[in-house]
Amino acid sequence: MTLLTTWPESGPETVIRRTADPAEIAAALAPVGVRYEQWPVREDVPADADSDAVFAAYRTEIDRLNAEEGFQTVDVVALHPSDDPEWPEKAKAARQKFLAEHTHDDDDEVRFFVAGSGIFYLHVAGEVHAVYCEKGDLLGVPRGTTHWFDMGTSPAFTAIRFFHEEDGWIGTFTGSPIADRFPDFDAIHAGYTA
């Protein structure tokens, strides 16, 4: 189940909104240009499925979104715990890349969660929206929107990424420490699943 929590940008002491209702989430995010929708979950697609299996399972939805948005590149990214002794360091490095507030000047950030979960934090119009996404959730963050992403200390997700530009993910970091003031993935996940 997805969860949206909204706070003032000053900090998380006051909760403006907290909802797990998909229609309320879509309605709350639409005014800031963020696309939120749910796609059917394909239970027969394992969490660690390869790209070919993911594309085959979601071909109809991918084709529809490509027709609507004109994406040039679609790929699959996955991070799942492994027995590799270097996994903890690899996971930490992957997480650190996205934890600082940034924007994308030339492209939207559009992700569909095939498996697992992650949180997009959107810093827009004086508020911070934490969108806890799980399998079946699609989130489209418009270019120029300040945001960050947290996958937690033990990332476990598979997502389809959509790009208008062939260069893929290019972030422009704001230098703001705002992300440090808000609950991270692990804190929200613990409270959400408790």
Binding residues for Ni(2+): 102, 104, 109, 147
Which pLDDT belongs to residue 165?
74
Asked whether the predicted pLDDT for residue 4 surpasses 50, the reply is yes
116 dihedral zone (left: phi>0; alpha: psi -120 to 50; beta): left
Q: How far, in Å, CA of 130 to CA of 144, rounded? A: 17
- Comparing 43-57, 75-89, 130-144, 149-163, the range with the smallest average pLDDT is 75-89
pLDDT of residue 192: 64
What is the rounded average pLDDT for all residues in the chain? 92
CA angle 168, 47, 30 (to 5 degrees): 55
Beta-sheet strands, E only, within 9-165:
17-19, 35-38, 73-79, 102-103, 109-124, 127-134, 137-141, 146-150, 157-163
Which residues does the annotation place in the binding site for Fe(2+)?
102, 104, 109, 147
> Each residue of 137-162: pLDDT tens digit?
999 999 999 999 999 999 999 999 99
- What pLDDT, on a 0 to 100 scale, did the predictor assign at position 168? 63
Dig out the tokens for 160 from the structure. Answer: 């389809």
Return the amino acid letter for 173. Answer: F
Mean pLDDT on 111-127: 96
Q: How far apart are CA 187 and CA 193, in angstroms?
A: 10
Q: What is the pLDDT of residue 194?
A: 44
Which residues are part of a known binding site?
102, 104, 109, 147
Identify the pLDDT of residue 50.
Answer: 93
Q: What is the pLDDT of residue 193?
A: 57
Mean pLDDT of 164-184: 84
Kindly list the structural domains of the chain, giving each domain's residue range(s) and its CATH number in brackets, ordered by start. 3-193 (2.60.120.10)
Region 126-135 average pLDDT: 97
Note the pLDDT of residue 169. 67
Tell me the C-alpha to C-alpha distance, in Å, between residue 58 and each of 76, 134, 172: 11, 16, 30
Mean pLDDT of 183-187: 95
Signed CA dihedral, 160, 162, 166, 170: sign only: negative
Mean pLDDT lowest among 38-42, 64-68, 97-101, 165-169: 165-169
| Residue percentage of the chain with pLDDT more than 70 | 97
Tokens representing residue 113 in the block: 């969660």
Residue 87, pLDDT above cutoff 90: no
